[in-house]
Amino acid sequence: MTRTILITGTSSGFGRETAERLARDGYRVFAAMRDIASRNRRHADALRSQKIGVVELDVTDDGSVDRAIASILAEAGKINVLVNNAGIASVGVTEAFTADQAKAIFDTNVIGLLRVTRAVLPSMRRERDGLIINMGSVLGRVTFPFVGIYGASKMAIEALTDSIRLEVSQLGVDVVEVQPGAYPTSLYSSIQRPADGDITKSYGEVGQIPDAIYKTFTSMLQGKNAPKPHDIAEAVAKLVGQAKGSRAARTVVGTSFGADKINADIAPVQKAVVDGLGLGHLEELA
């Protein structure tokens, strides 16, 4: 039976590549994005032309999420795989970001992921089967200066992924994470910059470093040897195709900046903590 897959944030980048890749594999794919009748209409039409279902979904809006999930379940009957991909990035002096800016980033990257997960999990629990793939980042493991807010949101995804994975393991649901390095996607073209320019200026030469970082990464990601976003789609496709219970908790894709080593170092510590709580059985997927 064909599995049904929902992917958030599919207007471009990792989400778009992943939707197209999984559709070619024969899965029934629903690509979720905002503004499908206006700003993203062209992207929605392009996906529909490939026989990919397109659904209006704003991860920052409870009603939008609930309506989208209800419509997919009404049409397809179930959601076998959820790929939580929607996200926004930021770079700049952390002090120069307003609290409202930080809230907006967390509302999309963290609370948005939780909203969609909460909407999908009841149907997966009823089926006692399902796979959730969260799009993290190597910045959820290592810290770059001037990317503190975005990095903090990705570190939050680490905790959510581990906790939910253990909580639903006995209910037949697998929860894993993909940790991309730097890739040329619209995440960079729409990157959030700090609103308080006066604070940035007050940092003097240090305040100019974020612009230099941004230019360096932009240049690197536009070169002929730039990494391809399709790598992420391939990693997701591999996870979807793997047998239940055999998937790695984390998959680093691209330049790791040491995140792979941190994953390896933390894994036995995390296991010891869970075992120490007498909950070691939660580490095995039922």
- What is the per-residue pLDDT across 264-274, written as a single tens digit (0 to 9) for each? 999 999 999 99
CA-CA distance, 18 to 230, in Å (whole number)?
7
12-60: pLDDT as tens digits: 889 999 999 999 999 999 999 999 999 999 999 999 999 999 999 999 9
CATH number at residue 270: 3.40.50.720
Is the CB of residue 21 less than 8 Å from the CB of residue 232?
no
Determine the Cα angle at 85 with ends 81 and 91, to 5°. Answer: 165
Q: Provide mean pLDDT across the span 70-87.
A: 97
Residue 30 domain-assigned?
yes
Q: Provide mean pLDDT across the span 245-273.
A: 96
Look at 31-40, 59-68, 227-236 and tell me which has the smallest mean pLDDT: 227-236
pLDDT range class, residue 4, cuts 50, 70, 90: very high
Map 171-227 to HEC letters: HCEEEEEEEECCCCCHHHHCCECCCCHHHHHHCCCHHHHHHHHHHHHHHHHHCCCCC
Q: Provide mean pLDDT across the span 97-122.
A: 98
Residue 94 domain-assigned?
no
Burial class (CB in 10 A: 0-12, 13-18, 19+), 144: middle
Residue 217 domain-assigned?
no
Residue 32 domain-assigned?
yes
CA-CA distance, 248 to 269, in Å (whole number)?
16
| Total residues found in the chain within this entry | 286
Cβ partners under 8 Å of residue 222, min gap 6 = 184
Is the CB of residue 97 less than 8 Å from the CB of residue 24?
no
Residue identified by tokens 């990317």 is 147
**Average model confidence (pLDDT) for the chain?**
94
CA-CA distance, 121 to 187, in Å (whole number)?
27
Distance of CA 9 to CAs 82, 83, 113, 121, Å?
Answer: 12, 9, 11, 19
Residue 216 has pLDDT above 80, yes or no: no
CA-CA distance, 189 to 196, in Å (whole number)?
20
CA-CA distance, 163 to 49, in Å (whole number)?
38
The total domain count for the chain is 1
Residue 215 domain-assigned?
no
Residue 97 has pLDDT above 80, yes or no: yes
Choice among 27, 150, 188, 203 that is catalytic: 150
As a whole number of Å, the CA-based R_g of the chain is 19
Residue 222 has pLDDT above 90, yes or no: no
Residue 130 domain-assigned?
yes
Does the annotation count 150 as an active-site position?
yes
For 27, which DSSP code?
A: -
Would you state the pLDDT for residue 26?
Answer: 96
Nearest to 241 by CA among 116, 122, 131, 88: 131
What is the SS3 assignment for 135? strand
For the whole model, what pTM was predicted?
Answer: 0.95
Lookup: tokens for 147: 């990317």
CA-CA distance, 16 to 43, in Å (whole number)?
9
Distance of CA 60 to CAs 8, 9, 89, 152, Å?
Answer: 12, 12, 15, 18
pLDDT range class, residue 86, cuts 50, 70, 90: very high
146-187: pLDDT as tens digits: 999 999 999 999 999 999 999 999 999 999 999 998 775 555
Containing structural domain, residue 116: 4-86+103-184+227-283
